[in-house]
Structure 1
C-alpha cells in the first residue's frame, strides 16, 4: 500500500483513534467522565445526581470494581468518583489522579447524597445522560455512541454544546477496512508511523498482565492456567492475557490501551502476540506488524457489531490475536484469513453478560480458539462454506458474524439485562 494512498493514512488514523489509554473498565470510566464534565459545568458540588443510562451500560457497570475508589462497585460509585475526583481533561484516564483523601470523600458523598440510576431506553446501545443538581441549578451532559462522544452539554436551560447526529462511529470511516487491504497495510507500513501507538500498547498491557499474575485479582484465571501449563506457549499466551483482565476487572489502577472501546479487547489482541513474539525471538519490526494485524483485524470484525452487544467482543479480539500469531509463525495471507474464519466458527456463541471476573476466562477461551484456528489450517483442516454461519470468503463470514452480533442478539441483550437487574 502506497504511503500517499488515502487508505494508508486512514488505517494509521484508525489505530490512533482506537488504541487509546484507559483506566479500568471503559463503561464505568465513561460514567465517571460524564460526571466529571457535568461537575465542571455546574461549578460546585451537587446535592443530588441522576444518571440515566442505556441497558448495556447497566450490564457493563453492575459487577465491576471502579479503579481508584477503594474497591467501590457499580454505577453510583463510578458517578461519584467522577464528581469527587475526576479530571475531565484526561478523558478515559479521568480517575488517574484520585488521592486517598478523595477516595475517602467518595464514600462520604455516597452516604450523604442521592445518586439515582434510571434506565434510558433511547434505542442507542451506548447512552449516558448525566444530570447534577445544586439547589435550583443543574448541569446536564450526554455521551452517546462511544465512550468520550459528548453530544450535549447544558446548564440551567442554556445549551452549551449540541450535536445533531447520534451514531456509533468514530471519525475515520471503518468501512474502509477489509482483510486484503489490512494484510497489504501491515506488510508495507512505515513502522515509524505506528511505533509510538504500539509501544504504548505493549508497555501498558504487558504491565497489567504481569500485575495480574503477581497479585490476587478476581478468580485468578491467569494463575489457574499457568499452574500446570509446563512450557506450553499457547497456554502462557492465554494465561498472560487472562491475568491482565483479572487485574483490570477487579480494581487494578494500571491503565490499559483499548481496542474497539474495550480494555479487555485491547489486552486480548496484544498480550498473546507479545508472548509469541518474545518466545519466537522475532525482530521488533515483525512484532509491530503482527500487532498492527491483530488490532486492525479485531476492529474490522467489531465494526458491524457496534460498541456494545450481547456478543462477546473477546471473540473478535481472540481471532485477531490468532491472526497476529499466524503471521509471527510464518503464515501468509491465506493462513491469516483462515485462522480468523476458523476461530469465529468455534466461539461466536459466547455472550456478553457485562464486565466482571469471568471476562478473563472468556478471553482465554477466545485466544485458544484463535490459536486452534491457525493450527487447524496448517494441518490442512478448516471449516467450510455452509458450516453454520461460515460462508465462502473471510469478508462474507465477518459480515455474517456482524449480523449475528448486532441484529440476531438484540433480544438476547435485552433478556440478559432483565436477568441482571432482577426483572
Structure 2
C-alpha cells in the first residue's frame, strides 16, 4: 500500500486512536476520568455526586475492582476515586497515581458523601452524566459513545463545552468504514513499521507485563494458571494462558496499565499477548511480530466497528479470532489463511454474551483465542465453514458485517435482559 493512499494514513491514525494506555477496566476508569474533570470544573471537593449511566456502563462496572482503591467495586467507588484523587489530563489513567493517603480519603468520602446512581436509558450503549455539587456550586460532565469523548461541560448552568451527539456515531474519530480485510492485509505487510513502532512497543511491554503478573500471583479465578496446570506448556496453550492471565490480573485490581483496543483492555490483551507469545516461541524477528500485531489489532477494530464498543456480544471473540489471524501470519500464512482463520473462528464462538466485566472474562478470552487457533488449523488441513453455514457468507468482510449486525441489532434485546437481571 502506497503512503499516498487514503487508507494508509487512516489506518495509522486508527491505530493511534485505539491503542492507548488505560489502568483498570475502561468503564469505571472512564467514570473516574469524568468525575476528575467534573471536580476540576467545580473547583473543590464535592459533597454530592449524581451519576446517570447507560445500562452497558452499569453492567461493566458492577463486578470489577477499581484499581488503586483498596479493592473497591462499583460506580460509587469509581467516581469517588476520580473526584478525590483523579488527574483528568491523564484520561484513562486518571487514577493511576493514587497514594495510600488518598485511598483512605476515598474510603472516608464514600462514607460521608451523598452518591446516587440512576439508569440512563436514552438508546446509547456508552453514555454517562456526572453531576457534582458543593454548596451552591454545581458542575456537570457528560461522556458519550467512546470512553474519553467528553461532549458536555457545565458549571452553575453555564455551558462551557457542548458537542452534538448523533446516535452512536464517533464523529471525532477516523472513519472505521475504510477498514476491510484486503486493505488491512496490504497495509500490515507493506507499511513503514517506524510509523507505528512506538505504540506497538508500548503494547508489547504493558500487555506482556500484566500477563506475567497474572501468572505469578493470585487474581480472580486464576484462569491462566489453571490452563497451564490442567493442560501443558506447549506454545498454543501457553499463549492462551498468558492472555487469560492478563485478564485475571486486570479484572481483579492489578494496578498496571494495559494498551487497549476498541475501548477495551481485555480486547487489547487478547489480540496482542497470544501473538507476542507465539512470536517468541517461533523466534520470529521484530518486524514479523510488528506486522502480525498490526494485522491482529486492525482485524479486531474492523470487527468491533460493526458491533459497537459495548454490546451483549463478547468483544473477546473478535480479539481472539484476530489473534488467530496474527498467529497464522507468524506461521507463514498469506491472505487466504488470514481471512479463513477469521471466518472459521467467528463461526465457532459468535454469540458468546457479555454479562459485564469480571473474573470470568479471562475464561472467555481463553475460549476465544482457542477458536482463532482452531480456525487456522482447520483451514491448513483443508477444512472450512462455507457460504450458507449459519452467519457465514461469501467474503470475509460480508461475514464480519453479519456478525456486526448480530452484535449491534440482534443482541440489543439480549443486552437489555442481561442488564435487567444484573440490576435486580
Which of 276, 281, 284 aligns to 2:283? It is 281
Aligned residue for 2:250, secondary structure, equals helix
**Which residue does the alignment assign to 2:127?**
127
Contact 1:168 1:306 (C-alpha < 8 Å) held by counterparts: no
Matches for 1:3-402 after TM superposition, within 5 Å? 3-166=3-166, 167-169=168-170, 170-402=172-404
Q: Deviations over 1:87-143 (max 9, x none)?
A: 000010000110000001110000011110000111111000000011221000000
1:233 offset after TM fit, Å? 1.4
Question: CA–CA distance in 1 between the matches of 2:415 and 2:201?
Answer: 35
Question: CA–CA distance in 2 between the matches of 1:152 and 1:106?
Answer: 25
Q: 1:164 to 1:228 in 2, by over 3 A?
A: closer
Aligned residue for 2:306, secondary structure, equals coil
Question: TM-score normalised to the size of structure 1?
Answer: 0.99
Q: Deviations over 1:199-241 (max 9, x none)?
A: 0000000000000001100000000001133332111011000
Question: CA–CA distance in 1 between the matches of 2:217 and 2:423?
Answer: 31
Contact 2:144 2:165 (C-alpha < 8 Å) held by counterparts: no
Query: Which runs of 5 or more structure 2 residues have no equivalent in the other structure?
Result: none
Question: CA–CA distance in 2 between the matches of 1:255 and 1:383?
Answer: 38
1:187 offset after TM fit, Å? 0.7
Aligned residue for 2:258, secondary structure, equals strand
Question: TM-score normalised to the size of structure 2?
Answer: 0.99
Contact 1:144 1:168 (C-alpha < 8 Å) held by counterparts: no
Question: CA–CA distance in 2 between the matches of 1:91 and 1:230?
Answer: 40
1:168 offset after TM fit, Å? 3.9
* Cα RMSD (Å): 0.7
Question: CA–CA distance in 2 between the matches of 1:266 and 1:93?
Answer: 15
Aligned residue for 1:251, secondary structure, equals coil
Question: CA–CA distance in 1 between the matches of 2:169 and 2:247?
Answer: 25
1:171 offset after TM fit, Å? 1.3
Aligned residue for 2:307, secondary structure, equals coil
Contact 2:221 2:248 (C-alpha < 8 Å) held by counterparts: yes
Question: CA–CA distance in 2 between the matches of 1:400 and 1:165?
Answer: 26
1:408 offset after TM fit, Å? 0.1
Aligned residue for 2:73, secondary structure, equals coil
Question: CA–CA distance in 2 between the matches of 1:37 and 1:194?
Answer: 30
Which of 399, 414, 418 aligns to 2:416? It is 414
Aligned residue for 1:304, secondary structure, equals helix
Aligned residue for 2:142, secondary structure, equals strand
Query: Which runs of 5 or more structure 1 residues have no equivalent in the other structure?
Result: none
1:165 offset after TM fit, Å? 2.9
Question: CA–CA distance in 1 between the matches of 2:79 and 2:356?
Answer: 18
**Displacement over 4 Å in runs of 4+:** none
Q: Deviations over 1:3-39 (max 9, x none)?
A: 1222101101100000000000000000000000000
Q: Deviations over 1:366-392 (max 9, x none)?
A: 000000000000000000111111111
Q: 1:254 to 1:168 in 2, by over 3 A?
A: farther
Contact 1:229 1:236 (C-alpha < 8 Å) held by counterparts: no
Question: CA–CA distance in 2 between the matches of 1:277 and 1:168?
Answer: 36
Aligned residue for 1:303, secondary structure, equals helix
Question: CA–CA distance in 2 between the matches of 1:182 and 1:164?
Answer: 31
Contact 2:210 2:249 (C-alpha < 8 Å) held by counterparts: yes
Aligned residue for 2:72, secondary structure, equals coil
Contact 1:146 1:168 (C-alpha < 8 Å) held by counterparts: no
